[in-house]
Amino acid sequence: MKKSIKVLLALFGIFIILLIFCLSFYLVTTAKYNLDESKIVNLNSTVEYYDINGKFIEEQSGGVAVTEIKELSNHVKNAFISIEDKRFYNHKGVDFRGLARASVNNLKSHSFKQGASTISQQLIKNTHLSNEKTLKRKLVEFKLARQLEKKYNKDEILEKYLNTIYFGDGCYGITDASMHYFGISADKLTLNQSAMLAGIIKAPSTYSPFNNQEKCFNRKDLVLSEMYNQGYITKEQLDSNYKVNPILKENSNGDVYDYVYLVKKQLSDFFDKSAYQMKNVKIYTYFNPEKQQIINENFNNYDMGTDKSIILTDNSNKIIAYKSTCGEIKRQLGSVIKPLLVYAPALENNLVHNCTIIDDEKIDINGYTPSNVNDKYYGKVSVKYSLAKSLNTCAVKLLNYVKVENALPYLEKVGINYGENDKSLALALGSSENGFTLKEITTAYNVFNDYGNYTLPSCVDKIITENGRILFKEYNQKTKVFSDDTVELINDSLKDCIEYGTSKNLKSNLSNIRAKTGTAGNKNGNTDAYSISYNPNYVLGVWYGNKTNKLMENKVSGGTYPTLTASTIWNDLQKRGLTDDVPFEKSENIVELNIDKISYEKDNKIEIADEIAPERYILKEKFRKNNAPIDKSKRFISPTIETPQISINNNIISIRLCQTQLYNFIVFKEFNGIKRKIFDTKYQSFNNCIFDQEILPNTLYSYSVVPYYEKDGIIYNGNPVYLNKIKTDNFSLQDIWWDKDVN
């Protein structure tokens, strides 16, 4: 008994010592930290945006982004309390009960997934502290949250919280968020809208409806369920809003709004991590008013009653103009993905040449049966032609040859993030589970107008605080994705795309433009239509579609209205002196060779034409130096022919010559030990066939043919070709006309 008492006393003593130590540590650690009321809601805080010339374009002001708590409906307040801090009105800044529960659950799961920050703690963290996860920061947060609770009542704290919390897309405070997502003031928020906003703040980038609607709306339903479980709404209110998606604000047609929207999207992670620091800053962007005006003027030239987006970047992948009716949404790409995923990787890995022959035909690869537009097939075509005409079966064949796993890393290098279910041949035609944005595909083409280099796209040059400190500076580091010789070959193909392929509607005064189209849809209509075009200065992306996936008419394809829109924009850029018709730089690693046209067209064989080949039998083709053909034709320097056909009829021997369009021939005749020349096609007329009537009966004749080619007075003889021996019939000598005297 005495021993047990001693143990208990010892444990109690240890507990007291630990308690004193923890209290001392807390007091020392937090001693110099105190609540700063001026930081809680700064009505003078601003975020100013400037264009590429340093001129002011827009301001977000804290002075107009504050809503008093009395203006908000109860369902707004209750939505945030139910999901963020159930015991908000019962604790004094720190919810120790919730903290204990979260600690136990984290220990059980061996993770730190659950937190227990109250609304008061979140307000302190967002206005006074950084996001670093340290014990010191947490203790300071505890102290300041308690001070906050002593200074303000619960409604005042909730008001300050709602006016400072970050809602994603660069929105601070519930007024800014209400206007951004729904186009209404905070006092008009419905129950469903309130639940969505309350759900966003846990992870703004993840739950923004413009990033992932499904996750956003699922979390909105979770908030509604919590409100019902806690008695804030009725079963009827839950049922009428559950699985009912709030209607989001349509993007305005204002060029500044659309561009700033992209800026906010780019900086969403930065805003998330630097919420307090991002107040009272100047954001210098790459927004170009002149080029934006051209996009605005041409935006509705071909109004097909669809949504539209247009984006323009420079060759450093700086986004300089943007306009959209539906924001940055993910869509199916169609064929605009082919150069990046299929053709460039095939060339880069020396698997094909631009002139390699591929059979355009119906295919079935392990049950996958893609088809061309209108089920039209061209037979044997070059790789270059198949890209210019955007032949689907050829693209799938090539990707199957390259292998999907070998091609996908190239997409990663140009900023296109695919899903696990996208690892299939269907991606060759732009078919994807989640889709991609116009910005992703347009900026990926930067690799083709910057000689194989890719730079991360950016709207922002720098962010500067009110005291001149640089918070952010864009560093345009380039990544080499494709060799410059591969890029030149792709650019040649996409030039043909304009000359005779799917981009032939891109009629421009600029000769140095390359383009690719893309269309997604079916025989009933199209969902997406793209034109991606570029010159050495810019990349222009145009998209037509409907954010609701409503089908457009089939006449709205990548090669029609998006390409026509791109054409007018390029012409206006040129007319106003905003782009030069500068040529693409040539690669030192490209060699242009004369290819034997006959071998290529007849046998699909790529070999170098010999030096004396006539121009009409030569194809000029470009190759990577490290993958140029080495086989050389001797078609003219050493002529060869198939054995001519020989026959006899009515005492006349006929010899049918072949390849007479290529060579001349000397025909020799031999009998009774005598050999003589009987015909030279250079000097004697004939029609593919020569006839020998000077024959004797019952005689064996031998013939040989020597092909020869003459150039610049030099004769190049081939080897003689010996024909089958032929014996004449036993006819009467009186029938031999050539042996009679002629008077």
pLDDT given at position 33: 65
- The model's confidence at residue 105, banded by pLDDT at 50, 70 and 90, is low
**What's the pLDDT score for residue 688?**
87
498, 304 contact by CB (below 8 A):
no
Calpha distance 458→397 (Å, rounded): 35
Tens digits of residue pLDDT in 58-84: 766 544 456 788 899 999 999 999 998
More confident residue, 353 or 255: 353
Q: Which residues pair with 35 in a beta bridge?
A: none
Q: For 631-655, what is each residue's pLDDT tens digit?
A: 999 999 999 998 999 999 888 999 9
pLDDT at 109: 44
pLDDT, position 435: 92
Query: Tell me, what's the pLDDT at 76?
Result: 93
Q: Domain 645-739 is classified in which CATH homologous superfamily?
A: Immunoglobulins (2.60.40.10)
| Structure-block tokens of residue 470 | 């640089």
The mean of the pLDDT values for the chain is 86
CATH H-level superfamily of 41-273? Biosynthetic peptidoglycan transglycosylase-like (1.10.3810.10)
Top-ranked range on mean pLDDT: pick from 50-59, 141-150, 708-717: 708-717
- Give the β-pairing of 590-596 and 618-624: antiparallel
Return the biggest CA–CA distance within the chain: 160
* 721 in Cβ contact with 704 (< 8 Å): yes
Percent of the chain with pLDDT over 70: 85
Angle between helices 191-200 and 74-84 (to 10 degrees): 30
Burial of 56 (0-12, 13-18, 19+ CB in 10 A): exposed
Q: What are the extents of the domains in the chain?
A: 1-32, 41-273, 291-575, 590-627, 645-739
pLDDT at position 551 over 50:
yes
Can you spell out the DSSP letters for 499-515?
Answer: HTSTTTT---S-SS-EE
The per-residue pLDDT for range 325-351, each reduced to its tens digit, is 888 889 999 999 999 999 999 999 999
For the cut 70, the answer to whether the pLDDT of residue 509 exceeds it is yes
Instruction: Using pLDDT thresholds of 50, 70 and 90, give the confidence band for residue 742.
Output: very low
- Confidence band (pLDDT; 50, 70, 90) for 45? low
Q: What is the pLDDT of residues 222-273, one digit of tens each?
A: 999 999 999 999 999 999 999 999 988 765 445 677 888 888 888 876 665 5
The answer to whether the beta carbons of residues 181 and 217 sit under 8 Å apart is no
Q: How far apart are CA 93 and CA 543, in angstroms?
A: 50
Helix (H) or strand (E) holding 476: none
With H, G, I as helix, E, B as strand and everything else as coil, classify residue 527. strand
pLDDT at 112: 43
- pLDDT at 506 > cutoff 50: yes
Phi, psi for 642 (deg, rounded to 5): -75, 155
Q: Give the span between the Cα atoms of 277 and 127, in whole angstroms.
A: 9
Distance CA 677, CA 679 (A): 6
Could you report the per-residue pLDDT of 269-322, keeping only the tens digit for each?
666 554 445 667 889 999 999 999 999 999 989 988 899 999 999 999 999 999
- pLDDT tops 50 at residue 136: yes
Q: What angle do CA 267, 471, 280 make, to 5 degrees?
A: 85
DSSP state, residue 436: B
Provide the sign of the torsion angle of the four alpha carbons 69, 75, 77, 80, taken in this order: negative
Do the beta carbons of residue 441 and residue 542 sit within 8 Å? no
- The answer to whether residue 131 scores a pLDDT higher than 70 is no
CATH T-level assignment (fold) for domain 291-575: Beta-lactamase (3.40.710)
Mean pLDDT of 555-570: 96
pLDDT of residue 18: 65
CA Rg, the chain, in Å?
39
Nearest Cα to 559, choosing from 544, 538, 569?
A: 544
pLDDT band, residue 40 (cuts 50/70/90): confident
What is the rounded average pLDDT of the residues 567-583? 93
**47: pLDDT strictly greater than 70:** yes
Angle between helices 135-151 and 2-30 (to 10 degrees): 80
Task: Inform me whether the pLDDT recorded for 741 exceeds 60.
Answer: no
pLDDT at residue 275, rounded to an integer: 45
